[in-house]
Structure 1
Amino acid sequence: MRVAILYDGPDIVGFFPFERHPLGIGKPVAAGLTDAQGLVHAKGFDIDPRRLIKECGLAVYEFDHLVAGQPLLSERHERHPSPIIDLRDGYEHYTCTLKEHSGKTYKTTLAKSRKLQREAGQMRHDYAITDLAPLHTLLAWKTGQYRRTGRSDRFAQRWIVELVERLLAVQSDSFAGVLDMVYVDDEPVAGHFGLRTRTTLSGWFPAYDTRFAKYSPGLIHHLAMAERAAGSGIQVIDMGRGQKEYKDKLKTGELQVAEGRVARLGPAAGLHWMMRVPVRKTRATVLANPLLLKTADKALKTYGRLRAVLQG
């Protein structure tokens, strides 16, 4: 990891965190994990993006979650929605919005919550806990989800597990790791780990115990999390880029993140273009077409089942 410090005369006006890979290829720190990428800079700051990457010794800077409004952003970069839950007017106002726009989802989720408690036991919700045991339970659920859906298991990499553990240990007014879990009869059912500032909770790793899948525990949990988050001063929950049904049901609006690259003319940038850009455009085409997306998702889940059999 490297951090470029940007000056305007004697004044520091920005920081640019990045990783430098072979051939001068630059990427965001922890690329593949980060949902908000780019410069940390003073308001109104402007810079030539190509000059920036040149001064950093980069031929290319590639990103997939560049925050809207960044000086690195141009019209040619692809924009993607990042759904949010707006809690600035409180949880009750949010539920009123849900009733208006996703009334069936809201009513069904409450009904399933009552049914879960009738059939499994009393429910409780622990918010902003710091114990490692429930965190490891959550990560195990997430590993199972990655494997079932044919995705690579991020938590097979020890450094990612250690990163999440360290972030959970950080608890300050301006930044903290936030772990919350829903229990039924003292048994964990669903949970989430994310990061917060004073006013924003960034969604990261939601998961649930598949034994309770028929009760929609993910939706039950998200409503519980939104209520407790609003009570603690959170104004926005950013659920992150990605087309997921639960996000469409719960969102009240969207932010934007961008995908693309900033490149200087040269052999390394040309090689990078050939290796990465056609793949990215193909993926974007699949994600934008419901039929292609459904086919690809089905193929990944089939692969996940075959992988589980072979590894078992």
Structure 2
Amino acid sequence: MSRWRALQESDPAFDNPFLSPEFTITVGELRDAVQVAILYDGPEIVGFFPFERHPLGIGKPVATGLTDAQGLIHAKDIEIDARRLIKECGLAVYEFDHLVSGQPLLGRRHERHPSPIIDLRDGYEQYTAALKEHSGKTYKTTLAKSRKLQRDAGTLRHDFAITDLEPLRTLLGWKTDQYRRTGRTDRFAHRWIVELVERLLATQSESFAGVLDMVYVDDLPVAGHFGVRTRTTLAGWFPAYDTSFAKYSPGLIHHLAMAEQAAAAGIEVIDMGRGQKEYKDKLKNGELEVAEGRVATASAAAGVHWMMRVPARKTRATVMANPLLLKTADKALKTYGRFRTVIQR
């Protein structure tokens, strides 16, 4: 694990907790599909390639569908043949949707997407100064709503980097309600994902930790977030809030409080992850880049995979790139979510 850590910390592109050894090890304890290829140059280890092996030789990132940073952790300037790598791993295809920059797996045809960040490298005060300049209305309105929330409901308190299970379960309950309300699949209906989050919360070290924080009003939980961090990067993962406080914009109140506490704790970047969300546009002051695509060998399994996945992915990309189509799709999902909620009741 020390060599993995050294390679990860040697390149800023790898400074994401989803690329940390602890994350892969913890997921591997819960999912038999997780494997790690170790790359050597003579006696020296020069890379680690974590992946999941699925039927028909299909390779996917560890905890596929959950992570916002994927790829190979490797020494600088080494030459790696991507197709040979996946073939040596016994894979026909390796598909990804959040591949980080500078990867030997990255090709010219792979689709690039922005991944918004809160850049705290110059401190929280500089961040809020930039926020006032580019999203001044959002910043002022959020502060005003925070004051109104306190007038209406009580004193505001923010607990950062706590490790109690009770507030975590409150947060996951909010998130489940959000998934159902918006027509999305409830990730926490899968027991292994709940256990993964609980185990990550219990993992606390200087170089990697689960981070839970909650905003309370008069000791009543209002909003919160669970993510994971390295020494200097916090990955935004599961933010949620109590919808009974929705008129106060508790998510924005929480994110500003989280950014302030994270900066004080030495966090330099909060990676909010790929995806078009209004709150990300309001809060971001920078962007990283991630890629989506696949590396494939010349095989029948790769051909079948292409027919099943690539056209659908391109259709989704078209929808995501068109504001009108995206708005229509999102509205349809929310309508389905309301209908499903009524049926369940």
What TM-score range do you get, normalising by the shorter chain? over 0.9
2:110 aligned residue: 77
2:141 maps to 1:112: no
1:246 aligned residue: 279
CA distance in 1, matches of 2:147, 2:320: 35
Which string of whole-angstrom CA distances, capped at 9 and with x for unpartnered residues, describes residues 231-288 of structure 1? 0000010000110000000000100110000001111111000000000000000000
| Mapping of residues 5-16 of structure 1, within 5 Å | 5-16=38-49
TM-score (norm 1): 0.99
CA distance in 1, matches of 2:339, 2:79: 50
CA distance in 2, matches of 1:44, 1:100: 39
2:93 aligned residue: 60
| Match among 196, 199, 204 for residue 232 of structure 2 | 199
Which string of whole-angstrom CA distances, capped at 9 and with x for unpartnered residues, describes residues 152-174 of structure 1? 00000000000000000001000
CA distance in 1, matches of 2:192, 2:166: 18
2:109 maps to 1:49: no
Aligned AA (1:94): Y
CA distance in 2, matches of 1:7, 1:56: 14
1:133 aligned residue: 166
CA distance in 2, matches of 1:140, 1:94: 31
2:73 maps to 1:40: yes
CA distance in 2, matches of 1:46, 1:118: 60
Runs of at least 5 residues in structure 2 that lack an aligned partner in the other structure: 1-33
CA distance in 1, matches of 2:119, 2:67: 21
Deviation at 1:34, TM superposition (A): 1.1
1:297 aligned residue: 330
SS in 1 for 2:326: helix
| Match among 261, 267, 287 for residue 228 of structure 1 | 261
Runs of at least 5 residues in structure 1 that lack an aligned partner in the other structure: none
Deviation at 1:68, TM superposition (A): 1.1
CA distance in 2, matches of 1:17, 1:206: 26
1:165 aligned residue: 198
2:297 maps to 1:270: no
Aligned AA (1:247): K
Deviation at 1:311, TM superposition (A): 1.3
How many aligned positions are there? 312
2:57 maps to 1:24: yes
Which string of whole-angstrom CA distances, capped at 9 and with x for unpartnered residues, describes residues 212-241 of structure 1? 000000000000000000000000100001
1:211 aligned residue: 244
2:134 maps to 1:101: yes
CA distance in 2, matches of 1:46, 1:242: 31
Deviation at 1:75, TM superposition (A): 1.0
SS in 2 for 1:138: helix
2:128 maps to 1:86: no
Which string of whole-angstrom CA distances, capped at 9 and with x for unpartnered residues, describes residues 50-99 of structure 1? 00001000000000110111110011000111100110111001000001
Aligned AA (1:243): Q
TM-score (norm 2): 0.90
